[in-house]
Each structure stands twice: as C-alpha cells, then as structure tokens.
Amino acid sequence: MISIRTSFALAGTLLLVSTNTLAKLDDFKDGTVIKGFGKYAPVATATVDKKTKMKVAFDVAAQADAGKVNRKFDSLARFINMQVAAGVPKENIQLALVVHGKASFDLLNNPSYQKLHEQDNPNKPLLQALMENGVRVILCGQTGVAYDIELSQLVKGSEVELSAMTAHALLQQDGYTVNPF
C-alpha cells in the first residue's frame, strides 16, 4: 500500500513534470499562412506525414460576445497554421466552416453587424483570410430563415446551404471528417 505522504509526493512530482512539459501561452505564435489569427504552439515531438491530405469540417453554433472574434472560427486558422508549420502542404488542407444557431450573426457583413452592435464585425477579416485560403464558409439555411438572415447580409464569399445537416452530409460524401470540438 502507498501511504498518503507518498501519494502526495507522487502527485506533486507529476504536477511539476507536467507543468514543465506543457506549452505556455507565451509559446503560442502566429502562423505563416493566416497572420494575426490562429496562434498555435509548436510541438517538437509531434510529426505529421508530409503527404497527408486533410478535409475537415468545423461545426459552429455558439456566437462570440459582441465585438469579439469567434474563437471557433479562429480554430480553423489555427488548424491551417499548425498543420503547415508541421510540414503539411497548404494545398493538402481543405476546410469547411458550417455555421448555424446564434453563431450566424458572426457571419454578418459590416452594415448588417453594425445594426446589431454599432460597430464593424471583428470576424470579417478572419473570415476573408480563411476564404482566401480556400476555406468554405457555409451558413445553415434553416438558421438563416429563422433569424431572417439573407446571403446578401453575409461576409462576401459565404455560402448558404439548405441546412447545416445537409452541408455536413454533402461534405462527408466528399470525404470531409467533422472536427469533434
């Protein structure tokens, strides 16, 4: 049997070891593809096969606080930046952002966003950078109808699909996986 004192000593040692090996916030840096967004921490021991091809859909329903970048949208920039830094060619990465629920308001162009928040949409530069790097930005049409959002109110380049469910089904048929977070 292990004594309580030994248990605490082991726990303290594990905590010390784990805190020394984890990346710290200062270790996160800008990527080379989408600058200003998608900070990531390099992981020296992680390797990704340079021939890897990735087709990933990200599902986002949660809206950011007014005036803030949606962290879930930023995850796509982080995904691209860290994969390219790990050696995956940018052309081997295909991403889709499927948006529904209240997150749809984070897709609004500046005039439409300003009507709600009296300021420009802070997500617009990120969305434009994502689309410039081949990311498909797709709004759930059912959400659009529910919130009275039309394609003309979205950041230019956004798409509208019949539903988020339809978008995911079609993307899956095209070989996309769904990011689980």
| CATH number of the domain where residue 148 is located | 3.40.1260.10
Q: Which residue range(s) make up the domain with 153? A: 23-178
Close Cβ partners of 165 (under 8 Å, ≥ 6 residues apart)? none
User: Alpha-carbon Rg of the chain, whole angstroms?
Assistant: 20
Is a pLDDT exceeding 80 seen at residue 52?
A: yes
Does residue 18 sit within a domain?
no
Structural contact between residues 139 and 100, judged by C-beta atoms closer than 8 angstroms? yes
Predicted TM-score (pTM) of this structure: 0.84
- Taking residues 90-104, report their average pLDDT: 98
pLDDT of residue 42: 87
CA-CA-CA-CA torsion sign (69, 75, 79, 82):
positive
- The answer as to whether 16 is a domain residue is no
Residue 132, SS3 per DSSP: helix
Q: What angle do CA 170, 112, 160 make, to 5 degrees?
A: 10
C-alpha to C-alpha distance for 104 and 154, rounded to whole angstroms: 9
Under the banding of pLDDT at 50, 70 and 90, the label for residue 23 is: low
Examine residue 15 and state whether it is found in any structural domain, yes or no: no
The residue written with tokens 């021991």 in the block is: 45
Q: Is residue 6 part of a domain?
A: no
Query: Which stretches of 47-102 are assigned E, i.e. beta strand?
Result: 54-60, 93-99
Q: pLDDT value at position 77?
A: 98
The answer as to whether 12 is a domain residue is: no
Q: How far apart are CA 130 and CA 52, in angstroms?
A: 20
Tell me, what's the pLDDT at 46?
A: 79
pLDDT the model gives residue 47: 78
Q: Is residue 79 part of a domain?
A: yes
Residue 171 tokens read as 């993307």
How many domains in the chain? 1
Residue 151 forms part of a structural domain: yes
- Using one digit for the tens of pLDDT, what is the confidence trace for 109-154? 999 999 999 999 999 999 999 999 999 999 999 999 999 999 999 9
- Closest Cα to residue 81, out of 123, 122, 51, 126? 126
The pair of structure tokens assigned to 153 is 């109110």
For residue 2, being part of any structural domain is answered with: no
